[in-house]
């Protein structure tokens, strides 16, 4: 038995929203959405097209039966995952030996430049802001990340505390409000 | 459209007040017009009116009274009386071939409102849409008068193209729009691609279809966006080309967005031509 969304009698954007939800709930397979007007039909087809799912439309009396085949489960799950934010809270990666932490930082940011998907945002707080300032040994990697579209944020209070605000070389200065918002809205990875 | 009654009041008031700015006038007095159900908390009505009042004050107008009617859902608007020298009214009929067409707000608020209803619009887009919908066109109006704009209308329910067609028809010209120059709120294209488009956009498209010449690479997603019904949209202004720079820089100086989106031509048989990216 196919999955079914009966969107007859629904106004925009409900047919699309209900179809989208139903598609998210099934892992794969066929979903049929029934609509009773052209606008809803066009919009539901467009939704399916935006995911590259094959669509067939059949007109029965005054209704359209839109059959959507959900495929590529793996790809879909990766792409639909939330954006990633990385919180860096120290100039050294990990606790223990600082010299080792410094080397790890280099290798961490280099690896990040080659990772897919890239994080959307990297947040630097406390002593980590040293890394975005003049003289940082990972500046090259962080600039590279920014070039690739990653948002680089350094905590303003921290820059003030370490008195290096004028030495910031990459990204922008941020505040706790924005930082907390990023933490909430993204999948957060802390290092 | 929005759930916050104060914001709702602000947006409704701006939508009403902006009508007079589109003619180059200055609002003097306003009356509240309210429909409100008796089952809702009266505080909601208080918040709506307070939101409206904040914009009336910002516009420098005076609230002189109003009417309230009981109804099933809350509705709010203003009856606005404005002042203008009859010889200086800026109508939508004064577009001349060769002029530059300028828009003062990005479009897409209808699509974002639809996205809000479906719970799929992101915070950033919502924020921007609210900023757009709560902005009076008073400063834009002032600047357009200063640089000698010859025609103007405000972009609302018929969408950018719908209102542009009215201008072109009234002036008997063709307006050529450059799609890549049209400002679109971030997130709108993604929503439109998923089919999150208000029914009104399609109705607008149906209505304007025969009057628009689309270049081949303007796909249906962009057609929907150009026909998306706007709430409290920006001014659509025609100005002599040599003054267009002054208009844009004047708008910027007044803290208003300003975008050159096309030009007027001698009438070619279609009122609008849309050039693709």
Q: Which residues of A touch B205 (CB under 8 A)?
A: none
Which secondary-structure segment (H or E) carries A69? strand A63-70
Query: Could you tell me where the DSSP H helices lie in A10-85?
Result: 14-25, 38-50, 73-79
Q: Which residues of B fall below an 8 Å CB-CB distance to A?
A: 114-115, 117-120, 123, 193-199, 202, 220-221
Looking at beta carbons, which residues of chain A come within 8 Å of B194? Answer: 16, 20, 46-47, 50
Asked if A96 has any chain B CB less than 8 Å from its own CB, the reply is: no
Q: Answer whether residue A27 shows pLDDT above 90.
A: no
- A163-191 mean pLDDT: 90
List of chain A residues whose C-beta atoms are within 8 Å of the C-beta of residue B117: 13
Summarised one tens digit per residue, pLDDT across range B8-44 is 999 999 999 999 999 999 999 999 999 999 899 999 9
pLDDT of residue A148: 86
Please tell me the distance from the alpha carbon of residue B22 to that of residue A102, in angstroms, as a whole number.
61
What was the pLDDT predicted at B233? Answer: 97
Token pair recorded at residue B30: 């306003």
CA distance A125 to chain B (A): 24
Rounded mean pLDDT, A21-25: 90
Q: Give the model's pLDDT for residue A117.
A: 84
Q: Which of A12, A46, A47 sits opposite B114 (nearest CB)?
A: A12
Give me the residue from A13, A17, A46 closest to B193, CB to CB: A46
Q: What whole-number distance in Å separates Cα of residue B16 and Cα of residue B78?
A: 6
Closest-approach residue (CA) in chain A for B191: A47
CATH superfamily of B5-86: PurM-like, N-terminal domain (3.30.1330.10)
ipTM: 0.71
pLDDT tens profile B105-147: 999 999 999 999 888 999 999 999 999 999 999 999 999 999 9
Torsion, Cα of A23, A27, A30, A36 (10° steps): -10
Of A17, A44, A45, the CB nearest to B118: A17
Contact A13 B119 (CB under 8 A): no
Q: Does A111 touch chain B (CB under 8 A)?
A: no
Q: pLDDT per position in chain B (277 positions), as tens?
A: 678 999 999 999 999 999 999 999 999 999 999 999 989 999 999 999 999 999 999 999 999 999 999 999 899 999 999 999 999 999 999 999 999 999 999 999 999 999 998 889 999 999 999 999 999 999 999 999 999 999 999 999 999 999 999 999 999 999 999 999 999 999 999 999 999 999 999 999 999 999 999 998 899 999 999 999 999 999 999 999 999 999 999 999 999 999 999 999 999 999 999 998 6
Predicted pLDDT at A72: 58
Please give the CATH topology (third level) of the domain spanning B90-275. Phosphoribosyl-aminoimidazole Synthetase; Chain A, domain 2 (3.90.650)
Among B123, B194, B220, select the one facing A16 at the smallest CB separation: B194
The fraction of chain B above a pLDDT of 70, given in percent, is 99
Q: Sketch the domain layout of chain B as residue ranges.
A: 5-86, 90-275
Residues 6 or more apart in contact with residue A152 via CB below 8 angstroms:
A121, A122, A124, A132, A142, A145, A146, A170, A171, A172
Q: Which residues pair with B102 in a beta bridge?
A: B237, B260
Chain A residues touching residue B199 (CB < 8 angstroms): 11-12, 39
pLDDT in the model for residue A77: 45
Q: pLDDT tens digits for A118-159? A: 899 999 999 999 999 999 999 999 999 998 889 999 999 999
Backbone angles phi, psi at A170, to 5 degrees: -145, 145
Residue B127, pLDDT score: 95
In A30-49, the residues whose Cβ lies within 8 Å of chain B are 38-39, 42-47
User: A13 vs B195: CB contact, 8 Å cut-off?
Assistant: yes
Distances (CA, A) of A96 to A30, A64, A99, A101, B240: 53, 64, 9, 7, 69
* Chain B residues within an 8 Å CB radius of A20: 118, 120, 194
pLDDT at res. A12: 79
What is the residue-wise DSSP string for chain B?
Answer: --S-HHHHHHHHHHHHHHHHHTTT-EEEEEEEEEEE-TTS-HHHHHHHHHHHHHHHHHTT-EEEEEEEEE-SS-EEEEEEEEE--GGG---TT---TT-EEEESS-B-HHHHHHHHHTT---HHHHHHHHHHHT--SHHHHHHHHHTT--EEEE--TTHHHHHHHHHHHHHTEEEEEEGGGS-B-TTHHHHHHTT---HHHHHHHHHHGGGEEE-TT--HHHHHHHH---SS--EEEEE-HHHHHHHHHHHHHTT---EEEEEEEE--SSSEEEE--
Beta-carbon contacts of residue B99 (< 8 Å; ≥ 6 apart):
B150, B151, B238, B239, B240, B241, B263, B264
Q: Are residues A47 and B120, on separate chains, in Cβ contact within 8 Å?
A: no
């Amino acid at each position: 038995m196919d999955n079914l969304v009966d969107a007859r009698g629904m106004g925009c954007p409900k047919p699309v929203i209900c179809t989208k939800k139903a598609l998210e709930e099934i892992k794969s397979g066929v979903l049929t959405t029934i609509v009773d007007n052209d606008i809803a039909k066009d919009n539901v087809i467009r939704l399916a097209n935006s995911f590259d799912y094959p669509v067939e439309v059949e007109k029965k009396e005054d209704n359209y039966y839109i059959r959507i085949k959900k495929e590529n489960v793996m790809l879909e799950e990766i792409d639909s995952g939330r954006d990633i934010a990385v919180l860096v809270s120290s100039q050294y990666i990990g606790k223990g030996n600082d010299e080792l932490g410094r080397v790890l930082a280099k290798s961490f940011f280099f690896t990040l430049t080659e990772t897919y998907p890239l994080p959307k945002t990297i947040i630097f707080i406390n002593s980590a802001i040293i890394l975005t300032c003049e003289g940082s040994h990972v500046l090259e990697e962080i600039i590279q990340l920014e070039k690739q579209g990653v948002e680089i944020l350094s905590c303003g209070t921290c820059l003030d505390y370490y008195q290096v605000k004028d030495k910031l070389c990459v990204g922008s200065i941020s505040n706790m409000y924005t930082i907390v918002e990023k933490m909430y809205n993204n999948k957060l990875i802390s290092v | 459209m929005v759930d916050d009654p104060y914001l709702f009041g602000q947006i409704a008031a701006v939508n009403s007040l902006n009508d007079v700015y589109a003619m180059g006038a200055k609002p003097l007095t306003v009356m509240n017009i309210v429909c409100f159900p008796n089952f809702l908390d009266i505080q909601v009505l208080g918040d709506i009116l307070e939101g409206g009042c904040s914009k009336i004050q910002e516009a420098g107008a005076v609230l002189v009274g109003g009417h309230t009617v009981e109804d099933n859902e809350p509705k709010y608007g203003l009856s606005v009386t404005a002042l203008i020298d009859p010889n200086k009214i800026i109508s939508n009929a004064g577009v001349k071939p060769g002029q530059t067409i300028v828009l003062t707000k990005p479009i897409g608020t209808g699509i974002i409102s639809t996205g809000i209803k479906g719970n799929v619009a992101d915070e950033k887009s919502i924020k921007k849409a609210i900023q757009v919908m709560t902005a009076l066109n008073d400063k834009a109006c002032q600047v357009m008068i200063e640089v000698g704009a010859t025609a103007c209308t405000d972009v609302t329910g018929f969408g950018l193209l719908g209102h542009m067609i009215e201008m072109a028809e009234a002036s008997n010209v063709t307006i050529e729009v450059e799609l890549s120059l049209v400002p679109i709120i971030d997130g709108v294209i993604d929503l439109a691609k998923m089919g999150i488009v208000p029914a009104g956009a399609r109705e607008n498209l149906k209505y304007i279809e025969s009057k628009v010449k689309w270049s081949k690479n303007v796909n249906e997603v962009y057609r929907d966006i150009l026909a998306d019904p706007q709430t409290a949209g920006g001014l659509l202004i025609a100005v002599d080309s040599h003054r267009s720079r002054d208009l844009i820089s004047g708008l910027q100086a007044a803290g208003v967005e300003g975008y050159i989106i096309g030009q007027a031509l001698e009438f070619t048989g279609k009122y609008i031509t849309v050039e693709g990216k």
